[in-house]
Amino acid sequence: MNMTHYMQLLADNQPWNLLIFMALPIVLAETLAITELYILFTRKFDGFVYHLNRFAGTTVGLYFIGIIAYLMMTTVIPITKNNEWRTVIDVIAVASYLIGGLPLIWIALQEFGFVNKALDQMGKLKIHAICVALFLVFGHIAMIAGMLDPSLLGYKDAGGHQMGGVPVISADHEYCDPAMHGDMQAIHEKMHQQMMGGANMPQGNMKQMPMNQQSHSH
């Protein structure tokens, strides 16, 4: 099965890539979402949960700034230049993952006071909730598209004739080791020359000998 670049990113360098690009952002975003619901129901704009909410929002936003910058420089731009996207499935998976980080960056900007300065606590909390919802939507699109096989839309791996370095043999062709084939052909030719040269061989055996190379199957 072929993988999208999104899934390949998570599968490589285990377990670090999975932790860096999936586990940590998800944990921070889920913490933000859960504390968001608590504050919406209780209207408590102080205490541990409120400060945890602000910490999760600023941290995950700053975190995604680093992730997006890193992936743009090391993955998106090189793949685009080399025309190595694995169909539109691959593009949707990677783009959705990167776009999903933008609402979280907006939350961080709000927490630092760069945007939405005129909003009250409830207004800012609603922006939080909308941004978290957008992150979850794009995050799930990225995961679903990322787990699809790009070959569904016609992608063919350049090394598709091999798997794990082992040649793939066609089902309608019996594989024959070239070295073994050479040895068998040399023995066959030697016996054929002996028969054609009148070598002393029992008549019963001569009738059973193949008379040409067409009888050799490999």
127 & 190 share domain: no
87 & 133 share domain: yes
49 & 132 share domain: yes
87 & 152 share domain: yes
pLDDT at 166: 34
In a domain, 29, yes or no: yes
In a domain, 165, yes or no: no
Q: pLDDT per position in the chain (218 positions), as tens?
A: 788 999 999 999 889 999 999 999 999 999 999 998 999 888 888 899 999 999 999 999 999 999 999 999 999 999 999 999 999 999 999 999 999 999 999 999 999 999 999 999 889 988 999 999 999 999 999 999 999 999 888 888 765 433 333 333 333 444 455 555 555 566 656 665 655 555 444 444 444 445 454 444 44
149 & 202 share domain: no
pLDDT at 188: 57
182 & 97 share domain: no
140 & 184 share domain: no
Cα 183 to Cα 42, 173, 174, 191, 211, distances in angstroms: 85, 20, 17, 13, 18
25 & 118 share domain: yes
pTM of the model: 0.69
d(CA 104, CA 131): 6
Total structural domains within the chain: 2
**Among residues 130, 145, 34, which one has the least CA distance to residue 98?**
145
In a domain, 164, yes or no: no
In a domain, 199, yes or no: yes
pLDDT at 28: 93
In a domain, 172, yes or no: no
In a domain, 193, yes or no: yes
Cα 17 to Cα 94, 138, 143, 209, 210, distances in angstroms: 15, 20, 15, 64, 62
137 & 186 share domain: no
34 & 137 share domain: yes
- Find the domain containing 205 and state its range: 178-215
96 & 138 share domain: yes
Residue that is last in its domain, among 156, 186, 202:
156
In a domain, 106, yes or no: yes
48 & 133 share domain: yes
pLDDT at 201: 47
